[in-house]
Structure 1
């Protein structure tokens, strides 16, 4: 199996995005996460491994359970990409607003 380390590729899958949303509320055990999906426990574990390999989550052992939680700095590349396009569109909309204001004078 190919190791996915690109955060964009990791979040491209809807199941992995759903796992991240679950973890945005609190850290959870892999078994608890698996209980939220209609796919097999091994399939959920594979999704969790992808998120881990991409640096989006950390996994800690506590007794017999493994807990997953979000890794804030793992989202930095995605955050920067979103911020770039957020600024891009804000500038485009400001330019449009300025143009419309000039035409109404």
Structure 2
């Protein structure tokens, strides 16, 4: 079996790191992506290829942009943790405004 190029291995390692950081088990991610756990495990280790469908599935499940997931964009200060983003998106507009007021006070 031909080894994957180094940039593919780095991407696959990023997928593994993001998944682990989100406390998502391999089986859960494999099910979400429509893969077997064995394929996903080999993919994260750089043995199997990651196609566009899998990459998009990871981004959706992890609630991160493709740019951040692939390393094209920084995960620095501009990144919002997924849990916070989900809570804010599910808030009413009125509560979002209240939260913004609180955040402005905290940021002073």
User: What TM-score does the superposition give when structure 2 sets the normalisation length?
Assistant: 0.29
More helix by share: 2
Question: Which has the larger share of strand?
Answer: 1
TM-score (norm 1): 0.30
- Greater RCO, 1 or 2 (C-alpha within 8 Å, sep 6+): 1
Structure 1 or 2, whichever has the larger Rg, is: 1
